[in-house]
Amino acid sequence: MAERMIRIAQVGYGMFGADVVAGTMWDLQRNGIAPYLDRIGLDDWAREYGDVKFELVAIGTRSAPSANRAVEENERETGNAPYPYYGTQPWVYMLRDHPDVDVLIVATPDHLHYEPIMEALNNGVHVIAEKPLCLDVNEADTIIETAARKNLIVGVDMHKRYDPDHRKIFTELMGDLGTPIYARGVLEEPLEVSTTIFKWAEQSDPFTYVGIHWVDLFMHYLKLTPLSLYAVGQKQRLLRDFSKDAFDAVQVMVTHTNGLNIIYENNWITPKDFEGPVNQESGVVGAKGKVESDSQYRGLRYWIENKGSRTSNVHFFRKVRRPDGSLVSLGYGKDSLVDCMEKVCRVKFLGASAAALAGTYPDAASQRLPTAVVHAAREVVHRNYAYFQQGKPPVVTASFGVQGITVHDPNAGENVRIYSKPI
């Protein structure tokens, strides 16, 4: 019987690519996908994939040192040494040299997702991408259309859908809360992210980078369609102290066609003295009640002399030691990637069509409206910040509808269409 193998190429090995993505890929290469399916309710498929093997055949990064580090770490954890690539477009050469690759993992910076995704799709390769899918809804349309035409999976790592607290809220409690009235999502990253870890903070912003998680969560579970948007951002600390022309914080308010209003609050200037790796929380007010979730503080708190007070979210991504001393990863941060990879297996080994699997995982089509929100917010926040700098009121908004996305700019006396297909 022929060996059943999923061959993987990964581009990007930064903060997330070298941690959650890499850890997940190590586990798949070591033990396959079957052991991890019960967490996402797919344990009935475990027998189908018992003999499926996974191999990381290539890793691509910006620099040679990071590519070599990725190879060394993968070999240490799995015994397999993928081929290293580096440069500005390593995905081009990875896919050229490895035509048998099944799936490309895209863990590049926010503004560098579209090109490798399209390179993979045009080469007949499935894709699993970190969020956001892309930054422009026109690009999202192209990805969706290409994947559908070629019967390819495009999954996006939207792990907040898999958080057990969120599953409880949206699958069990929302019915009792009644009609949702307003909601809030907060995610605040440490200053280290925007000043040291990321070299590309000026090409993104905290809402684009992490606010998209909340947008996807609410839109996915509540089946929302955006109606209007307002956004403002602030440039203080990063510009003054680090000479980075990047937003410290962004606040976005979206009203939806069902009347639900959601406020997203994001920053990446939280000082290192904060007790957790990030600060994140959410809440929904319904006609019959309210639910709140503190995603950062899960109840585990400790303080140690000269080390301050700390809290830990051990549910996201934690390590468990095996008898041989190596570590297996588990948590809802891994679940999203496993779900997307299972869909690749379903298509390759069980003959499923990508269309038949639509909506059963965080697919590209589910990211069209969240991408539309990001697209509009980026346009609005930049215009409003420019007006604030000029001493003018930041009154620019955006609307969504059958004519697409329109930016309304009273200061300029114009309405600008930035997307022309129905929302």
Q: What is the pLDDT of residues 281-318, one digit of tens each?
A: 999 999 999 999 999 999 899 999 988 899 999 999 99
CB 355 within 8 Å of CB 148:
yes
What pTM did the predictor assign?
A: 0.97
* pLDDT confidence of residue 267: 98
CA atoms of 387 and 368, how far apart (whole Å):
29
Q: What percent of the chain has pLDDT over 90?
A: 97
The C-alpha angle with vertex 307 and arms to 302 and 312, in degrees rounded to 5, equals 40
Average pLDDT value for residue range 16-23: 96
What pLDDT does 259 receive?
97
Check whether the bond before 132 is cis (ω within 30° of 0): yes
pLDDT at 103 over 60: yes
pLDDT at 380: 98
SS3 assignment, position 29: helix
- The predicted structure's pLDDT at residue 390: 98
Q: How far apart are CA 51 and CA 60, in angstroms?
A: 28
d(CA 191, CA 67): 26
Domains and CATH numbers, the chain: 5-160+318-357 (3.40.50.720), 164-312 (3.30.360.10)
Asked whether residue 1 carries a pLDDT value surpassing 80, the answer given is no
Q: Where are the beta strands (DSSP E) in 326-379?
A: 327-330
Mean pLDDT of 196-212: 96
Residue with the two structure tokens 């003018």 = 392
**pLDDT at residue 3, rounded to an integer:** 86
Residue 243 binned pLDDT confidence (cut-offs 50, 70, 90): very high
